[in-house]
Structure 1
Amino acid sequence: MSFIVRSIVPVLALATFIQPAAAQDRRVSLSIGYGHVEADEKIFDSRGLRSHLTWTAEAPMATVQVRRDLAAGWVLTGSMTTSLGDGAYMSDFDWLFSGTDDWSHRSLHPDTRLDHYVDVDLAVGRDLPGPVGTTVNLHGGLRYNDVEWDARGGSLVYSFDGFRDYSADLPDGLAVVSYRQRQLSLFAGVEADRQFGDWTVSGRVRGGVGIDPRETDRHWLRDLRFDRSHDVIPFMDLAARVDYRLNDRTTAFVQARHIHHDDRRGDTRYSSISSGDEMGHAGGNAGIGFSMTQLSVGVDHSF
């Protein structure tokens, strides 16, 4: 796991487990659910799209969220979401002549595995009173997300002597392509909740930018590595939650979350996987996209 995750997780632990100054000023939520993760990996030339790989995964996910109430309405919050399964899929389309609608090469890879998905955030904010039964929290912080897939085997259709004139199946388990995407982001957000007796409804909106996002693509059969870098990438993070109070300290809840990163162009550096030798550089030819949708149920406890 990266240095960023190793740095943030201890902060979340300290925020939760250091001795509180008052009762019930800290909360821990544990939830489990299902998530859909998708990333777009694109290559462009001067005439248009040249290559498009789509990586998807549908897997169980677990989330821990912590909240620590500080003095004068200030609040420290954090969360960590990680995948618990590896079910995934990858499709790869290429165009010999970019700018046309019809692809010339295609490979499909049902045996694709989600190696890992990690999403960690840490925020500081302040609770502000709203109408009766309503609280508004304004906050800002850091977020780090890291996702990686491995595609094996599959089938292909290529255009060699003619248009889509060659097809073949690759051996099962053969390593074909690996792809990793990492981003550290800054964000600002607002969260509001409203109580209705034993029920509480809350919603959260965050917006921010990824700082120096990175992609790594390894095409194993071609002994070719692509390292892609981008300047900044805007993103939006939306969440909604409904809680039902079980007792004075514990609630059960259902939560939905959606994250979307805008498509942006970046640069690509080419190298050999086996030797590490540099093989060239292209500016502005790399496209990147990312989204995640999660639905989960869990329990929240104050202490």
Structure 2
Amino acid sequence: MLHRFGWPALGLALAAATQPASAQGLFDSASLAAPAPSGEIVSFTPSIGILRGKATELVYDPTSGEKLSQLDWKSNATTVGGRLAVRPLESVTLRGSLWAAVSGDGDMTDRDWLYGYFGKDSWSHQSTHPDTRVGKAWQGDISLSYLLLDSGDMAFSALAGYRHYDIKHRAYGGDYIYSVYGYRDVAGSFDPGVMGIAYRQVWDTPYLGFGAYFRGDRFNVSTEFYGSPITFGRDQDYHGLRYTSFNGRFTPTAMVGANLAVEYQLTPNFSLVGRADYTRYSEAKGNTRIYDAANGAYYRIPRPSSGADSQTVNLTLGVKGKI
């Protein structure tokens, strides 16, 4: 984090390691309902989940494009959520899902390359923060499924939807090795009770996809693939020790995702549903706006001075009720 502590001196170099990420693994996927069987009009599935997520926050020299800083945020969280599916027409199903993290932790590693980037291990400054907490995380998704083919045991559908994903991390304490008077010559620790960095990442994505569904007597299996070339991302990095915030807005990037669900029928109206969902947001780059609260100064660094990406795996278990 040294690059941010020394912004005025380092100039463009320390454009503020931008945000985490992500974290989606904490959440329920949006397009997760198979085409409704004949007679099923409405279904609701409350669930609990386990998220595994990784988010990358990046800082670049906007002139040369050389990497200056990278923060790797990892998250593990427990989520609760629910999915609602309504079939207004025989071939059309409207779906919505919402989840939120109720507890979570993780870790963060921050590296700077102030003497040039010659690979990941050529860092000049590094700090590790095992006490990293998920401050908040939630995802909302709405989608429409249009039935293309239904042969009874198998069905295929086209998907269209919109997803919002929001995650925030807080890193406390930690240890550091800095290059102050020489190469990696100063080591120490931060106060364990003090928040050093808070990082937030937000992604908004309209997407299209395709689903395949297989029905048995008591087991149903579904899989869906979806993606978008126009995911909109932004992030915010707040350095508590410097009272300085770094805000990045990125040019559109790509998102890809897939899910696999297995449903076991308990009664005619209730089923047990297990689901795995994977989502990846490719790296996006943008500009950086810096606000130093200590002196009231604003700075703006042109793109590509900041970058971010994210990927998550979410495992959920729920009970589906239908009418």
| TM-score, shorter chain, exceeding 0.5 | yes
Determine the C-alpha separation between the residues in 2 that align with 1:276 and 1:139: 47
Match of 1:37 among 25, 43, 53: 53
Answer yes or no: is 1:253 the counterpart of 2:269. no
Q: Distance between the aligned counterparts of 2:236 and 2:65, measured in 1?
A: 24
* Superposed CA offset, 1:63-97 (max 9, x none): 31110001242111011122121212111000112
What is the distance in 1 between the residues matched to 2:202 and 2:41? 33
Match in the other structure for 1:294: 314
| Of 104-113 and 120-129, the range deviating more from structure 2 | 120-129
Stretches of 4+ aligned residues off by more than 3 angstroms: 209-212, 273-276
Name the amino acid aligned to 1:109.
Answer: H
Contact 1:26 1:68 in 2 (8 A): yes
Change (3 A) 1:160 1:275: closer
Task: Give the Cα–Cα distance (whole angstroms) in 1 for the partners of residues 158 and 173 of structure 2.
Answer: 48
RMSD over aligned CA atoms reads 1.8
Query: Is the CA contact (8 Å cut-off) linking 2:233 and 2:284 kept in structure 1?
Result: no
CA contact (8 A) 2:56 2:71 kept: yes
Contact 1:47/1:99 (<8 A) preserved: no
Is this contact kept in 1: 2:165–2:202, CA < 8 A?
yes
CA distance in 1, matches of 2:298, 2:65: 26
Matched with 2:178 is: 158
Give the % identical residues. Answer: 24
Q: Is the 8 A contact 2:250 2:307 kept in 1?
A: no
| Mapped pair 1:83 → 2:101 | yes
Q: Where does structure 2 lack aligned partners over 5 or more consecutive residues?
A: 1-29, 31-37
Question: In 2, are the aligned partners of 1:202 and 1:241 still within 8 Å (CA)?
Answer: yes
Give the superposition deviation at 1:58.
Answer: 0.6
1:114 equivalent among 124, 134, 144: 134
Alignment partner of 1:230 is 2:222:
no
Displacement after TM superposition at 1:223 (Å): 2.7
Larger RCO of the pair (alpha carbons < 8 Å, separation 6+):
2
Alpha-carbon contact 1:218-1:273 (below 8 Å) kept: no
Distance 1:210 1:272 in 2: 32
1:112·1:149 contact (CA, 8 Å) conserved in 2? yes
2-structure distance, mates of 1:210, 1:177: 29
CA displacement, residues 40-63 of structure 1 (integer Å, 9 cap, x when unaligned): 001112162110001111111223
Q: Alpha-carbon deviations, 1:241-293, whole Å to 9, x = none?
A: 11111111111121100000111221111221345531232321211100110
Structure number having the greater strand percentage: 1
Report if the CA contact (8 A) 2:171-2:196 is conserved: yes
Contact 1:183 1:210 (8 Å CA) reproduced: no
Q: Which residue of 1 aligns with 2:147?
A: 127
